[in-house]
Amino acid sequence: MTGRFRRLTTFSFCCAAFALGACSSTSTVDGVWDETLDARDSTFDLRTAPVRVAEGLRELDRRVEEMPNQLSEHFAFDEERAIKVGSGGIEVTGDTVSYIFNEWIPQVTGNTTREAERAARAEEELRSEVASIRNTSNSSAASLGGAPSGSVSTHTAMGIDLSRATPMDPARASSSQLAAAPGYLNSPVLNNYTTPASSASSGPAVTKTVQGGLEGVGRFFDQNGYTLDKMRRGSPVPPVFARRLPSNMNNSVLMNKDVFLRLMLPLSLKINDEIAAERAAIMRSGYSGPITGAPAGIQSLAAKYDIQSNTTNLLQRVDVLPVSLILAQAGLESGWGTSRYVQQGNALFGQRVWDASQPGMTPSGRDAGQNHRVRTFTSLEESVRSYAMNLNTNAAYLEMRRTRATFARSGRVPTARDLIPHLSSYSEDPSYYSATINTLVTDSRLTDFDRSRLSGGQPMNLYL
């Protein structure tokens, strides 16, 4: 009995030992198996990472594609003007920033209405201030035995005060002085192309000296109702032509830009007036054919624009430029009137000259062996006129003129953006230059002035 018990005990002990060993062995196997699974999971994660990333990107693309519709539905967002979603993702257009900040945000926040109300109040205050100034002037004139009631007013159509201006002395008149601006000739133009029309100037030009530099010019314009906001809303531009820019044009960037544009706008329109008058004269002659058989007037214009072939090619050169383009290039090239070339030599557009007989300034940093200079002028008007002639005759801008002529044949007027791609020769870095000019046109809303017209008031030449 005792022996059997011992055998059972020994057997039980062996079974227990085997069981314990099995358990220990099993836990070891489980640990190895767990490690293997972890390794496989890691390998799986690495192998499938690109797939998961791709799925995430597809989901992002889907949400991006829905974004314009959601914005359009909920916030009246005009995606065609601001963003475009294509195969390459989101594409930002040139008008994106301007549209979002100048139009969309004010629209959804209600700022547009408030801004209009503020503008109306400001205009009313300005009108009251100008009326007060005029009443004071009239009272002073009456107390000094001034003109009786019913006499002819010395104000132009835009309210520029000519009471202290003096007519230009004919003996002083020269090619370097500012003459009265000719109006556009209202006549039919070939292929339904319509050049801008303005009223003819009334009377000879008068001169006026404005003191106070940049601030003085700004005050003079403000007091007489000449503001960019009014011009944007379609008011006629007063024929006020500055001979030079104020010498302190670097005091304030914002004031610089505002005064610069108000000084340059009338000059740009005046030069376009002259070109449009020449174009209308060609059209009015009724002649079409070789220059050799053309009337004397057309032959004279052909010589001026360096054309020997025919009137078709002549008309391709004798045409106006978008005002927005003139203003943008003048602003960029002159640093909004702060560069030494425009301050010392009225050089608005940085035109180069190699002829030693022509006036010019040696550019700073000119490479050794170079002999070009920056062309200088006796007045701002001469600078704008030379710039227009350069674009209208230089072989480098042939494609620009062809594009403009194509628009004319279809009865359309090109904008600055239509012509800027063909001005690559104007800079050593065409891509940067084109992008910069486009940005200036957009951010400064210069196309608002493309339909501006000179008023029919008496021209005034400003001496600053």
Q: pLDDT digits over 273-324, tens only?
A: 999 999 999 999 999 999 999 999 999 999 999 999 999 999 999 999 999 9
Q: For 122-157, how does the pLDDT look when each residue is reduced to its tens digit (9 = 90+)? A: 555 555 554 554 444 444 333 333 333 333 333 444
Domains of the chain, residue spans: 166-463
Q: Residue 312 contacts by C-beta under 8 Å, 6 or more apart in sequence?
A: 288
Q: Residue 180 contacts by C-beta under 8 Å, 6 or more apart in sequence?
A: 201, 203, 204, 205, 239, 459
Rounded CA-CA distance 223/240 in Å is 14
The whole-number pLDDT of residue 356 equals: 82
The whole-number pLDDT of residue 93 equals: 57
The whole-number pLDDT of residue 110 equals: 52
User: For the residues 64-68, what does the mean pLDDT come to?
Assistant: 61
Nearest-CA neighbor of 173 among 322, 374, 379? 379
The whole-number pLDDT of residue 246 equals: 95
Average pLDDT score over the chain: 74
Distances (CA, A) of 48 to 38, 82, 251: 15, 37, 62
CB-based contacts of 333-342 (< 8 A; 24+ apart in sequence):
336/249, 336/253, 336/256, 336/257, 336/260, 337/245, 337/246, 337/249, 337/256, 337/259, 337/260, 337/263, 338/249, 338/250, 338/256, 341/374, 341/376, 342/245, 342/383
Rounded CA-CA distance 166/180 in Å is 14
Ranking 15-19, 333-337, 443-447 by mean pLDDT, the lowest is: 15-19
More confident residue, 143 or 115: 115
- Of the pLDDT bands very low, low, confident and very high (cuts 50, 70, 90), residue 87 is low
Compute, in degrees rounded to 10, the torsion defined by CA atoms 10, 16, 17, 20.
180
Neighbours of 71 (CB within 10 A): 17
Q: For 205-262, how does the pLDDT look when each residue is reduced to its tens digit (9 = 90+)? A: 899 999 999 999 999 999 999 999 999 999 999 999 999 999 998 766 778 899 999 9
DSSP H/E element including 242: strand 240-242
The whole-number pLDDT of residue 46 equals: 59
Q: For 289-299, how does the pLDDT look when each residue is reduced to its tens digit (9 = 90+)? A: 999 999 999 99
Q: By percentage, how much of the chain surpasses pLDDT 90? A: 46
More confident residue, 194 or 109: 109
Question: What residue type is assigned to position 258 of the chain?
Answer: D
The whole-number pLDDT of residue 404 equals: 97
Nearest-CA neighbor of 61 among 29, 36, 85? 85
Q: By percentage, how much of the chain surpasses pLDDT 70? A: 58
The whole-number pLDDT of residue 98 equals: 61
Q: Are 270 and 381 in contact (CB under 8 A)?
A: yes
Q: What DSSP string describes 165-210? A: -EEPPGGG--TTSPPPPPPPP----GGG------PPP-S--EEEE-
Q: For 335-368, how does the pLDDT look when each residue is reduced to its tens digit (9 = 90+)? A: 999 999 999 999 999 898 888 888 988 888 778 7
The whole-number pLDDT of residue 82 equals: 56
Q: Is 357 left (phi over 0), alpha (psi -120 to 50) or beta?
A: alpha
Rounded CA-CA distance 371/379 in Å is 24
The whole-number pLDDT of residue 128 equals: 55
User: For the residues 157-164, what does the mean pLDDT come to?
Assistant: 46
Rounded CA-CA distance 186/184 in Å is 6
Fold classification of 166-463 is Lysozyme (1.10.530)
State whether the Cα torsion 401-406-410-412 is positive or negative.
Answer: negative
